[in-house]
């Protein structure tokens, strides 16, 4: 709480300096409280099944994509059919006119057989293109994410954070013995220290 309030106060005072209300920001030298970093959360199989079974159609596909690719919410909402190479079975996360990945680096993620089996991805699945794989304005992403969260609240566990899909993917890779360099590349981390959080698996 203290760190969050300090961060907000620093932002306010930095703006005041920029607008020339004050000469300097007195919080610049104030260091935040050092806190231990918790291990990334892991959704167990029961929770995953509850979520997938509680959702219908495109929302359950969204969960399947998140769990099996580790893509961020913004990345899933930004992919188009051109980003999916079915022959080589990879999803390409790349910058474009309307989207830039958080790490600003392009990457390719293998498409597991399971993801194809559940028909979450496939060239003949036209309805998916109307929901998540689109060429529409990125501003629509906010509407889609709200719709998804509403579905989670109504049908899934009330404490289900969407980012846990990504954490579960990374933790599962580490638990299966994948090396850190590969996990870093698949998840699009800019710093190997971020990837090291998954070593607890």
The pLDDT of residue 149 is above 50: yes
Q: How confident is the model at residue 138 (pLDDT cuts 50, 70, 90)?
A: very low
Residue 75 is predicted with a pLDDT of: 86
Residue 127 is predicted with a pLDDT of: 38
Q: What is the pLDDT of residues 12-65, one digit of tens each?
A: 999 999 999 999 999 999 999 998 877 777 777 777 777 666 666 666 777 788
In this structure, the number of other CB atoms found within 10 A of the CB of residue 169 comes to: 23
The predicted model scores a pTM of: 0.67
- In the predicted model, what is the mean pLDDT of residues 142-165? 61
Continuous H helices in the chain: 2-18, 45-54, 58-69, 73-78, 113-117, 126-131, 140-155, 164-175, 180-187, 192-195
Q: What is the pLDDT of residues 163-180, one digit of tens each?
A: 888 998 999 999 899 999
Q: How confident is the model at residue 96 (pLDDT cuts 50, 70, 90)?
A: confident
Q: Which residue has the higher pLDDT, 134 or 164?
A: 164
- In the predicted model, what is the mean pLDDT of residues 58-78? 81
């Amino acid at each position: 709480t203290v760190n969050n309030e300090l961060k907000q106060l620093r932002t306010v005072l930095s703006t005041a300096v920029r607008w020339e209300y004050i000469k300097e920001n007195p919080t610049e030298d104030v260091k935040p409280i050092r806190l231990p970093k918790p291990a990334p959360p892991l959704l167990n199989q029961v929770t995953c099944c509850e979520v997938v079974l509680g959702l219908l159609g495109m929302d359950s596909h969204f969960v399947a994509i998140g769990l099996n690719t580790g893509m961020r919410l913004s990345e899933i909402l930004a992919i188009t059919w051109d980003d999916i190479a079915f022959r080589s079975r990879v999803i390409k996360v790349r910058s474009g006119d309307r989207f830039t990945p958080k790490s600003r680096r392009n990457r390719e993620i293998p498409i597991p057989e399971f993801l194809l089996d559940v028909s979450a991805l496939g060239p003949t699945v036209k309805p998916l293109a109307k929901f998540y794989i689109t060429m529409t304005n990125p501003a629509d992403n906010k509407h889609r994410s709200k719709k998804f969260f509403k579905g989670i609240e109504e049908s899934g566990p009330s404490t289900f954070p969407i980012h846990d899909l990504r954490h579960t993917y990374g933790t599962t890779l580490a638990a299966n013995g994948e090396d850190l360099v590969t996990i870093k590349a698949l998840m699009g981390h800019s710093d190997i220290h971020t990837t090291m959080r998954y070593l607890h698996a």
